[in-house]
Amino acid sequence: MSTYAGPATLVVDGRDVGQLRVRLQIGALDPKRGSESWSGMVANSDYVLWGVAGRRVHIRLPNGRSGQCVIRSSGAIVGFDEPPLGGSTD
């Protein structure tokens, strides 16, 4: 799966802090990490972003996978580790 649009749980310091609707996509292979890059956008729930903008957090999808990212105040998501939506071959 190379894209995902739907619900996600925002996890901060190991605690579930809210539900988001997100759009995520997998980008190019990052040779430094040996995995694909990923990014996205929060589709709603601006109130949840107030306390987490600029912090490293995790987004957990209904498939149980999570990924570490930063959510910018604009709602843009920048992923840092393995994509939670799986690789492009999933």
Helix/strand/coil (H, E, C) string of the chain?
Answer: CCEEEEEEEEEECCEEEEEEEEEEEEEEEECCCCEEEEEEEECCCHHHHCCCCCCEEEEECCCCCEEEEEECCCCEEEECCCCCCCCCCC
Convert the pLDDT of each residue in 65-87 to its tens digit.
999 999 998 889 999 888 898 64
Is 89's pLDDT higher than 70? no
Predicted local confidence at residue 86, as pLDDT: 63
Predicted local confidence at residue 48, as pLDDT: 66
Can you give the residue ranges of every domain in the chain?
3-79
Q: Provide mean pLDDT across the span 17-33.
A: 83
Predicted local confidence at residue 27, as pLDDT: 82
